[in-house]
Amino acid sequence: MPGDTLRDWFPPSDDAARDPIAAARAASRPALPKRFYEDATTEERGGAFVLCLDGRPARTPGRRPLAVPTRRLGDALAEEWAAQGAEVDPATMPLTRMVNSALDGVAPDPGRVVDDLARYAGSDLVCYRAGEPDRLVAEQAAAWDPVLAFAHEALGADFVPTRGVTFVDQPGPAIAAVRDALETGWARSPLRLAALHVMTTLTGSVLIALAHATGRLTAEEAWAAAHVDEHHQERIWGADDEALARRAARQAEFRAASRLHALAGDP
């Protein structure tokens, strides 16, 4: 049955609730299985949109229905499955992997993911600034000051930037404001919460992820803001091909998470 096969290709992970992206990456398998179905479609059942393979509803590795709240997301999942060739490659199915992680890992205990995101707020990337050279200082300010302004204006959270990498305690009310935003705006939607977590772990900044999730930054702007330091170093020392390839793969994952967040709809 499709559900049994999905268990083999997209195995559940104990880390899924805390780190959906780790669970997604763990899903890859070197030996690709043969495609066992002809058609991948979306069917509305019980108010949700279910992925069906040859008319049979698919299930997550945790044996939950592979069902999502919007037609657009259901169709996007079906497109991933329909696009597979003679073999099925989970590495080319980022939405399916993230939805599996959300339904199996995040939905049963969203509070764990909220806790982890709140921890990012306590040491967010955009709060740690360089003291020199002047160009890097200016580039960080140009990319990160608008993110702090967003946190103040949209979340009521005032974070304190500092120079250097020594840990600095951020104000408790600022972290509490981020947690409140997560609990009221994302915790009710495991899919959007999982997507936000993926974007946060890939950028190192829950504030950048929130700025993008709320429309303050585009996906490209958010990704660029998270990599100001890397771009500065590459101008000085040149780019490393392997590092660029790794970053491109991570950016593709970020875009997939951004797409999942948009397609999942409002909580």
Q: Residue length, the chain?
A: 267
b/e burial code for range 64-97 (CB count within 10 A of at least 16 → b)? ebbbbbbeebbbbbbebbeebeeebebeebbbbb
Look at residue 3 in the predicted model and tell me its pLDDT.
Answer: 45
Lowest pLDDT segment from 25-29, 44-48, 117-121, 243-247 = 25-29
Please return the burial class of 110, using the count of CB atoms within 10 Å of its CB with bins 0-12, 13-18 and 19+: buried
User: Which backbone phi and psi does 41 adopt, to 5 degrees?
Assistant: -135, 170
Structural domains of the chain ordered from first start: 2-99 (3.30.2180.10), 110-263 (1.10.3580.10)
The helix or strand, by DSSP H or E, that contains position 246, with its residue range, turns out to be helix 241-263
- pTM of the model as a whole: 0.88
DSSP symbol at 126? G
- Find the DSSP H helices in 151-218: 172-185, 190-203, 206-213
Q: What pLDDT does 25 receive?
A: 55
Give 2's pLDDT tier (boundaries 50, 70, 90): very low
Residue pLDDT, tens place only, 154-173:
999 999 999 988 898 999 99
How far is it between the farthest Cα atoms of the chain?
61
SS3 label, residue 128: strand
